[in-house]
Amino acid sequence: MERDPSEQWGLHRGVPTLRHGHHLQLLEGSLHLFPAMITAIDAARAEVLLETYIFDFTGSAADVAHALERAARRGVAVRVVVDGFGTPELPPPRRLRLEAAGVQWLAYSPPGRLGMLLPGQWRRLHRKLCVVDGEVGFCGGINILDDFHDPNHGALNSPRLDFAIRVVGPLVGEMRTTMVRQLARIDAMGRLKRAHWMGALELWRAVDMPHTPAPHVPSHGEPDAMAALLLRDNLRFRVGIERAYLRAIGGAREEIIIANAYFVPGGRLRRALVRAAERGVKVSLLLQGRYEYFMQYYAARPVFGALLQAGCEIHEYAPSFLHAKVAVIDGHWATVGSSNLDPLSFLLAREANVVVDDRRFAGRLRERLLFAMEHRGQRMDAAGYARRSRWQRMKEAVARLAMRLAIIVQGKRYK
């Protein structure tokens, strides 16, 4: 019997077992996510929890804010956590409006006067989660941000490419538990500033809060998909998402499709992709083709040479910004979430991905990615890549060095 390649790396440890009983829906962009979220929020009876890195109020994103206000006004407990760096402090009129409606708005780790100069401030809340009444959940890479708007670049001519997943089933309870823990930690940190020992005690209790599963909601005859929630934080869940990728890639037999916004894989992940291509697996990567941030854009490019040489296909998404963090392997394994394949996601940020083993769901995601590669991407030419200019190579070296220094300052190593 052939041995699973992932076993030699110890990749089964720390990767949750996928469970049956899930009804899953793939959502592409805010165009599909926001109406689905608003429908769920408008039907909420008791509770709405939402976490996001960016909460913007331009265009369709304002519709989500209005739905949260409506829910709070009719007595639903609405709690929103945003990242303190990704989402600037709210203007007073907006804050007063949310408070008047009864929305509880919390910021995770606001940077303060020194901003990102302090090493600890690089640990950001990058998850995008929403749970309504403990019965329906949403997870993905989509911020509360209109597809045609970018906070740094303004209006976009084409929509941002990103995905989310709507979930009904057992893992919704896990989503709610991790969000409640996060709320408790933020509250405890506030108490810590006021009374050190009491705050520390509350923080400890928040970390060790037991899991309370949500009631199982029948899927009404829809496919019984297998799924699991993968988290990355700096306490209990440090390597689960990376191990899940390595395990799936190591076991791939036919096809690997990855779409990732900030693709700077470490040595283990890079070697896993090269080995997969060398054993005959078709490896297709859909990556950022439009300049967004200097470090992430240029630090990725030195990796491309080894992948192209091994026979991997690299397609650069051209019409707009690529923000997806998804993958499909062998037509049945898939993941949708917030985690990039780079050191900031794997070592520092709080991330959340849903992993699925279901041919119907994986097939829908695969179709969307193949369409994007064929009609919206530009395939990278290996010869053209090898001929890139000295100026291009210098920018790549500077970006790579900056990323390495950022990781070293955090006391981390990226393998």
Q: At what angle do helices 61-73 and 92-101 cross, to 10 degrees?
A: 40
Measured distance CA(357)–CA(338) in Å, rounded: 18
Nearest to 23 by CA among 217, 173, 161: 217
Measured distance CA(150)–CA(321) in Å, rounded: 9
Q: How far is CA 404 from CA 134, 392, 395, 407, 409, in A?
A: 40, 19, 14, 5, 9
224 as an active site residue: the answer is: no
282 as an active site residue: the answer is: no
Q: Are 257 and 335 in contact (CB under 8 A)?
A: no
**Pick the catalytic residue: 32, 330, 332, 395?**
330
**Pick the catalytic residue: 23, 128, 149, 315?**
128
**Pick the catalytic residue: 22, 23, 83, 133?**
133
Quickly tell me which residue has 């304002």 as its tokens: 62
128 as an active site residue: the answer is: yes
Alpha carbon of residue 147 to chain centroid:
16
Measured distance CA(201)–CA(188) in Å, rounded: 8
Token pair recorded at residue 296: 């992430």
Measured distance CA(230)–CA(240) in Å, rounded: 6
**Pick the catalytic residue: 126, 147, 315, 342?**
126
Measured distance CA(329)–CA(364) in Å, rounded: 13
**Pick the catalytic residue: 22, 149, 315, 323?**
323
Quickly tell me which residue has 């899930």 as its tokens: 22
Measured distance CA(87)–CA(95) in Å, rounded: 13
**Pick the catalytic residue: 22, 56, 325, 358?**
325
Q: Tell me the chain's radius of gyration from C-alpha atoms.
A: 21
126 as an active site residue: the answer is: yes
Q: Are 354 and 139 in contact (CB under 8 A)?
A: yes
Write out the catalytic residue numbers.
126, 128, 133, 323, 325, 330
